[in-house]
Each structure stands twice: as C-alpha cells, then as structure tokens.
Amino acid sequence: MATSPLIPGVNGLPKVILSDSGNSRADVYLHGAHVTSWIPAGDEERLFLSSASEFRDGAAIRGGVPVVFPQFSGWGPLPKHGFARNRAWELIGADAGSARFQLRDSDATRAIWPHAFLAEFMVAVPDRMLVMELVVANRGEESFSFTAALHTYLRVDDIASTQIENLRGLKYFDAVLKQEALQTEDTLAFPSEIDRVYFGATKVIVRDGRRSLEVQNVGFPDGVIWNPGAKLAATLSDLDPDGYRHFVCVEAAIFREPITLGPYQMWRGGQLLTSEPTPADFVGPVTIESYPRRRGGMTLTSELTQSEGAASMDQQREENIGSDLWGEARVSDVLAAKRRHLIVAAAPTDRVRAIIERLKIHEISQMPVLDDGKLIGLITESTLLAHLAVPGHSVDDAIAPMVNQQVTTVAPDRPAQSLLNLFGGSQAVIVVENDRVTGILTKLDLIEYLTARLRQSSHNRTASA
C-alpha cells in the first residue's frame, strides 16, 4: 500500500511539505490547495501568514497563496473570491519538490455555480523559486466564464519602506478611488491603503529594504497589488494587530475580461516567485516555461578543435557541426529544455475516467505510473483505447491491469546523444534519479531540443564568419 505524503497541519488539516534537493521548502494544505509557507534555499520565510487565520472547513486562510476561483473579489454574484479557497482539494501527485492538486464540480459547487469544471493547481520549489500553475477545464457541454487569481501574500519587513518597481506606464483600476489611472511614477509606495489592478502587469520587483523578490505572471492578464492600510486592517478579524505592516499582496489575476471556455476547452496561467539571488548563483532571467534550464550543465556553444589527418574541409565542417550539436549535453539538459516542467503522473488505483481527463488537460498522450513514489510503468492513450474497446470494460475501472511495465529509463547525467538509441524501441523514456522520477521525454522533445541546438549552432557560425 502506498504511503501518503500528507501530514496533519494546524487544527489537524492535512498538508504536504515540498522540499527540493537544494533545501527549498513549501507547505501546501489540501484546504484550498493553499500554499502557506515558502522558504527558498538559504533564505527565510517569504510568505506572510496571519496567526489569527482560521484553519477550518468553510473558512479562508489569511495569508500564503489563496487560490481564487471562479470569481475574483466581489465582482459578481458569487461569494467573495468564489469557493475554491474554502474547499478541500485532492492531492493527485507529489514528489519531493512538487505536487498537484485537483478540484472538480460537485453537488455543493453546482448549487453555487452550475457548471461542470475541473481545476488543477501545481506547485514546485526549484532552487530559490516558487512556481505555481492553475489549470481550469470545462468538462461540460455548456460554455462558462470565470475570473480567478493567485492571491499571493508576500512577507515584508515594513510596508512603510516597501516599494514595487516595473509598473511605470501601466494603466490600472484604483479600487479605493473607483477610477482608472496611469502609473507615472517609477515605483509604487504604500503611505496608506493601496488596492489596484494593473492591466498587463507581467513582472514586478518587490523591494522591502534589505531584500528583493521578482514576481512574474504568465497567462494571467492582470496584476493586483493590495495592502489594506491601518484603517481597513483593523476591521479584519483574522489579521494580526499591525499585521498589515508586514505584507503586500502581489497577485496574478483575471479581472477586466473574464475567461470564457467552450465545451472541453482549457485555460492555464501561473505565477513564479524568485527570491533575490546571490551573485554566485545568478544566471539571468527565468520564466515559468523554462526554469529547469538553470539546472543543466549545457554550454550553448562548444569550442571546436581542428581535427587532424587528411579530412577535407567539408568533412571537418560536418564533424564540427555534429560536435557542436551535442557538445557536453546530458539528458538533464534535454529535460530542462522542455516547455512543460511539472511531472504529470498516475497511480495504479486511478480510474480510467480520471486518466483520460488528465491527458486531455495536459495535452499529453502518456504518463508514468507511480506507486509509493516508485516508478512501476507507463499508461498511454493507446492502452486506454484498447481497454475501452473490450465489451464490459468501463471508464470506472482502475488502471492497474493496464500499466505497461516494460519501460525505458535513463539517468539524468547520461550523455544526451544516448537518447537516440533508447528511442529506437520506445515511444517515451523516463528520467529517473535515485529511484525518483524526475521527468519524461518523448521523441518530439528530443526533436525540439536538437532543432534549437542547430539554430544556435548556425547562429554561432554566422557570427564568427
């Protein structure tokens, strides 16, 4: 029997603790799929959590990262900020540094909001980052519209000395003054209550005296910045006295234009927090789509040495191109270059119906199957199709008998070129390190990687000509 990674949290509510190899850590509760703590490697707590928060069913947690869905704030007929933050989500996958949570419609949600939906929330803690992604899918035959947010509370030393950069030139809606305006200042300070929705705010820098934090939104069209100030804070029963002085909310949001999903359509958006790097580990800008790229040992250009012997210039050029193509690249570099980074896995007890939905949501055709965190095989859309084609089989069947145990695995430190032989007899290769699945590679992943390498190699030769 698989061992659950869940442990009791405040008031016995279950939570999971994520920790990567670099000692970054995050706590996530099933209640609201709520991230309540994030401590980057070598750093201190970067999220604010009120000690007066109510950790109980039906109540929202004040602080951390509330998941707001299907309505932002009070802008609509639903309860403020919708219902997702107040409900228990299901943990559907976890490893040391990442986890996935799922919420689907029920009788209770349809009584409030009459739509068939599936929401997934993914959290990962690589290096000095907190990566979060929300996926919403329409499971029904009728279209629906929604707004949403990742309502992130960032801990600051003192709001009076906190500033936010990279907003100049953006239009915003001031919820305090109930009017739109243009940000003309280089920085935003907090002399009193601030509640603004910035349109098109994709990346900001938060500085609170001695440290800084980069906040990047992807897929969310709006960014919200909020601090209640002393007067409003005094009315919030679940906020510590003077608690407002120690946080600022920098949120990824859908506000001005709701997202509309037709039948079986899907939307995704995310937020990436990066704590101030030290000069030793700074490697440049990072995006949600490419954060693992930092972990690889690949150098984009290789120093080419002139071969000896009687090879012609054309032959030597081909050899140099081949050397430049692979260089010192490892399997980990190919994995890091993938657009999608979070591992989507199944358990042998999962039902066919759930696997089909997961494949559709993540636009994949196969996924590794894990039991107690260990790889036991692969489930593919072809296997599911063959199963359902047999009379008497059902979408409610467990996938355990369908798991293909003949899988190809590879260590991340193997040369990338070795994948060519591995793909000879397999559609996918599972990357495994210390008995833990760190990723899955397909032939298309390798094709995209080589295409990018060839493009870089061509650019290097042109630049040096």
Rg (CA), the chain: 24
In whole angstroms, give the CA distance from residue 210 to residue 265.
Answer: 44
Of 115, 151, 246, 341, the catalytic one is: 151
**How many angstroms separate the CA atoms of 125 and 131, rounded?**
6
Q: How far apart are CA 256 and CA 206, in angstroms?
A: 24
Alpha-carbon distance of 7 to 30, in angstroms, equals 10
Q: How far apart are CA 390 and CA 295, in angstroms?
A: 45
Is residue 357 part of the annotated active site? The answer reads: no
Task: Answer for the pair 97, 111: CB distance below 8 angstroms, yes or no.
Answer: no
Q: How many Å apart are CA 313 and CA 316, to the nearest integer?
A: 5
The H or E element containing residue 136 is strand 129-138
Among the listed residues 120, 133, 251, 357, the single catalytic one is: 251
Contact 15, 6 (CB under 8 A): yes
Sheet holding 212-218, edge to edge: 90-94, 98-104, 117-124, 129-138, 266-275, 212-218, 203-207, 163-165, 187-188
Please give the sequence-ordered ranges of beta strands (E in DSSP) within 228-347, or none if there are none.
247-261, 266-275
- Catalytic status, residue 251: yes
Whether the CB-CB separation of 256 and 128 falls below 8 Å is answered with no
DSSP string for residues in 89-124: -EEEEE-SSEEEEEEE--HHHHHHS---EEEEEEEE
Does residue 350 contact residue 398 with C-beta atoms inside 8 Å? Answer: yes
Q: If residue 450 lies in a helix (H) or strand (E), which one and from where to where?
A: helix 443-464
Both tokens of 276, joined, read 């101030």
The alpha carbon torsion through 205, 208, 213, 219 (nearest 10 deg) reads: -50
Q: Which helix (H) or strand (E) holds 388?
A: helix 381-388
Three-state SS for 334? helix
What span, in angstroms and rounded, lies between the C-alpha atoms of 432 and 108? 41
Number of neighbouring beta carbons within 10 Å of residue 19: 15
Tokens 């010192």 belong to 328
Is residue 399 within 8 Å of 355, Cβ to Cβ?
Answer: yes
Q: What are phi and psi of 454, to 5 degrees?
A: -65, -40
Amino acid (one-letter) located at 282:
F
Residues that are catalytic: 151, 251
